[in-house]
Amino acid sequence: MIYLLGGSGYVGQAYQALLLRKNIPFRNLRRAELDYTNPAILAAALKADKPAFLINAAGYTGKPNVDACELHKTECLFGNAVLPGLIAQACTAAGVPWGHVSSGCIYTGSRPDGTGFTETDTPNFSFRTNNCSFYSGTKALGEEILADKPNVYIWRLRIPFDHVDSPRNYLTKLMRYAKLLEAENSISQLHEFVAATFACWENRVPFGTYNVTNPGHVTTREVVSLIEKSGVHPKKYEFFASEAEFMKLAAKTPRSNCVMTSAKLASVGIQMTPVRDSIEQALRAWQKA
């Protein structure tokens, strides 16, 4: 059996769908039935049920975007930085291996040589380095807290998208925002992400941190061009003249835009679809809300 925390969220629901498809028994643990933020309570449940593995998809992202985290800092700090440490305590006490959904938003830009950030690069969009968003700062702290913990995977998700129209879907956001910021990013197809992360456990690859992004990277304009080509959402797509204009007119906090490499994931035999191919596949199968 698998324990799943945060199963009602955008990523958590994708994990539920994966486990159901694989016919793997799991328990979608809700705080209303068991307070998994209390390490003693969670450890007791783990010892009683003896799950083979735990997936933590719980966290605080803010709705409709990370600007909301600037208004709810207590919840954001707890969900992204404190909670992973509490789960680690419980899993260690019960001897249960686990995986934690982190974020690539702890980086901005690319490496000095222009290549994507690797798992060993120190976050450069965090409380310790520069003027980051509060969300990114808390996600970086969460990784720091888990840095020396045993038997845990840290899976970095980056701007999730899939083929289903949803407010959390990156493609939907581009279709619905009145004006867009031109940026270059690595991104993650949601269902490929959950399949790749669970494969880490199924294949018993070494514990540690993994960038789980589709190989390659894209600019906002490139994604918009694919949307226009697909005919899924015809409209006139407009862009801010600069990031400064975006910050002045549309945002409360700086955004992480970064390039990452998932070469480490590929090196352990877990392949994801190249990013442009994955976007095109999502648009061909597009399901409107």
Residue 33 falls inside a structural domain: yes
The least confident of 52-66, 75-89, 103-117 is 52-66
pLDDT single digits (tens) 19-28: 999 999 999 9
- The pLDDT value given to residue 139: 98
- The pLDDT value given to residue 244: 92
pLDDT single digits (tens) 214-270: 999 999 999 999 999 999 999 999 999 999 999 998 888 999 999 999 999 999 999
Residue 247 falls inside a structural domain: no
Torsion of CA 39, 210, 202, 204, to 10 degrees: -90
CATH number for the domain spanning 31: value is: 3.40.50.720
Buried b (16+ CB within 10 A) or exposed e, 132-146: bbbbbbbbbbbbbbb
Instruction: Supply φ then ψ for residue 180, to 5 degrees.
Output: -115, 155
Residue 63 falls inside a structural domain: yes
Residue 102 falls inside a structural domain: yes
- The pLDDT value given to residue 62: 85
Residue 60 falls inside a structural domain: yes
Element (H, E) at 173: helix 170-176
Residue 224 falls inside a structural domain: no
Q: Which domain holds residue 131?
A: 2-162+186-217+259-273
pTM > 0.85: yes or no: yes
Residue 254 falls inside a structural domain: no
Q: How many domains does the chain have?
A: 1
CA 218, distance to chain mean position in Å, is 17
CA distances from 213 to 51, 107, 133, 271 (A): 28, 14, 21, 10
Nearest alpha carbon to residue 86 among 155, 35, 16:
35
Residue 212 falls inside a structural domain: yes
Helix-helix angle 134-146:83-94, to 10 degrees: 20
pLDDT single digits (tens) 21-62: 999 999 999 999 999 999 999 999 999 999 999 999 999 998
Instruction: Supply the mean pLDDT for the chain.
Output: 96
Can you tell me the distance from the alpha carbon of 154 to that of 119, in angstroms, rounded to the nearest whole number? Answer: 10
